[in-house]
Amino acid sequence: MFKLPQNFQCRELQVGTYKISRCLVDTMSILERIRWAYQRGGAPQIILGGYESLLKVTVTTLISKIKEKNIYTHERITEEFVEGENIWYLPECKSEIASNLAIDPPLGLSECDSHFYKTKFFSYPEQFVCDIGPAKIIGPGGLVVSEKYSIIKPSVSPPTNDESIPTLSDALVRHPWQTITTLFPTFDTKENLRKMSGTVFPLYIGKMPAYYPWVMIGLLNIQALEEYKQRTGEDPTLIVPPDPPSFVEESLSVLGYEEDEWIPWSGPVMKADKAVIPSYPEPSPNRLKNLRTRMQDAVLNQHRDSYSYNNRVYISRERAERRKITNEMEVMSVLDEYGFERYYPEELPFLDQVELFANANIVISPHGAGLSNIVWADNLNVIEIFNDYVTDPYYIIANHLDHDYTAIRARSTEPRKKWHSNMKVNVDELRDTIKQKAEK
């Protein structure tokens, strides 16, 4: 089997739809990259990787044609916009210092370990909401472009990552002409676009949201929206993806936003009288705790007569497509000894998921989106089960919310699938871990 060369730096290599941890291999030749892609997806993956690389070069070339003065980064917005006039800062983020929020990887891994996959580079700058004025929004990714053809990067990118290139790549594939005419005044034909009167707020635009990004982007953006409403008295129309999943509609409803206050949209281009955008949300401790409080209060105010959930929760991925536990019957025999009950969050209404985790004392789960719900819990014991590959978002969230977090490393049963592999759990290690938690 092909192995990575020893000489590498701590960065990230994109090959098609796959990433090699955070290690960019300086010595990897084109032939080696082709071989690596073939091992993971055969000929289709090689073709996809080549196509995506070509598209990325095209988009990078397009962006290079846009003058630097027409690109607004997070930093530039905070420098040039005027507080109280066209930018407002979220007060709960002002006291948080990035250096105090650094968390090492779980299980004692190094960030350069080939089995550690760091999903985000969080920097926790001051969070804001700003008035861009008249603007166009390029779908489906939601990149905002001002009336002066300036790209507003925070509409799609955290400060430490540039997501504008993949966002534009997707837009060019789906709507090439509309995207080009939106970016460059030379080509702007002033053609009829979907127009929105009044103020719009892109809450979460893009491909159909999965549960984790909806909680960590869409719902965190509600805080910025409400800061803007409080400061200006305006009530923007929310922009959400088309055919939103039930958890999107239910979570918006519980927070007081009904269907007549938002519109579904996926592109190609929308022209708005005024666009208000938040800085790309990052899960800092204060923002997570405020979201938890807001959601707990809202759910309790529903006065629902649902049954009481077990406070020892096992989240099963038995019905998922990947990262299943192959010896789940053995695992359940251990969990039964300690009074755990098995749940499938994807089959529960959103309010039930909030209640389940808000009432939990111990949650055990393979790595997966169901763990996003630890946001709704207080003083929780979290036991996350990984295969051979470890990733960090729930470890970070658990630390920020003062949960007690423990990781267990199971054995991958399909190593070629890397972090998507199913896994087999050492039930003796699981039993010992539960015993320690139960005795606290």
Tens digit of each residue's pLDDT (9 = 90 or more) over 350-375: 999 999 999 999 999 999 999 999 99
Count the domains in the chain: 3
Tens digit of each residue's pLDDT (9 = 90 or more) over 326-344: 999 999 999 999 999 999 9
Task: For residues 414 and 186, give the distance between their C-alpha atoms in angstroms, rounded to a whole number.
Answer: 52
Average confidence (pLDDT) over 9-32: 39
Answer whether residue 4 is part of any domain.
no
Q: How far is CA 221 from the centre of its chain?
A: 12
From start to end of 279-360, where are the E strands? 312-315, 341-343
Answer whether residue 194 is part of any domain.
yes
Do residue 262 and residue 317 come from a single domain? no
Between these two residues, 80 and 204, which has the higher pLDDT value? 80
- Residue 135: strand pairing partners: 146, 272
DSSP state of 326: T
Average confidence (pLDDT) over 69-82: 88
Do residue 199 and residue 230 come from a single domain? yes
* In contact, 278 and 302? CB cutoff 8 Å: no
Structure-token pair, residue 53: 């690389």
Average confidence (pLDDT) over 277-288: 90
Give the three-state DSSP class for 125. coil
End-to-end CA distance of the chain: 45
pTM over 0.85: no
**303 confidence band (pLDDT: 50, 70, 90):** low
Task: For residues 82 and 216, give the distance between their C-alpha atoms in angstroms, rounded to a whole number.
Answer: 27
Q: What is the pLDDT of residue 81?
A: 93
Q: Kindly tell me if the per-residue pLDDT of 38 is higher than 80.
A: no
Answer whether residue 291 is part of any domain.
no
Structure-token pair, residue 364: 């055990």
Answer whether residue 297 is part of any domain.
no
> For the chain, what is the largest distance between any 2 Cα atoms, rounded to a whole number of angstroms?
70
Answer whether residue 102 is part of any domain.
no
Do residue 56 and residue 74 come from a single domain? no
**Which of 41-50, 123-132, 137-146 is predicted with the least confidence, judged by mean pLDDT?**
41-50
Instruction: Show the domain range for 341.
Output: 312-438
Give the three-state DSSP class for 81. coil
Q: Kindly tell me if the per-residue pLDDT of 6 is higher than 70.
A: no
- The phi and psi torsions of 176 (rounded to 5 degrees) equal -60, -50
**12 confidence band (pLDDT: 50, 70, 90):** very low
* In contact, 219 and 256? CB cutoff 8 Å: no
Tens digit of each residue's pLDDT (9 = 90 or more) over 153-166: 888 887 777 777 67
Q: What is the pLDDT of residue 231?
A: 94
Q: Does residue 244 have a cis bond before it (omega within 30 degrees)?
A: no
Tens digit of each residue's pLDDT (9 = 90 or more) over 216-243: 999 999 999 999 999 999 999 999 988 8
Answer whether residue 44 is part of any domain.
yes
Between these two residues, 132 and 63, which has the higher pLDDT value? 132
* In contact, 160 and 171? CB cutoff 8 Å: no
Do residue 73 and residue 54 come from a single domain? no
Do residue 273 and residue 368 come from a single domain? no
Do residue 140 and residue 212 come from a single domain? yes
- The phi and psi torsions of 201 (rounded to 5 degrees) equal -130, 105
Task: For residues 58 and 47, give the distance between their C-alpha atoms in angstroms, rounded to a whole number.
Answer: 17
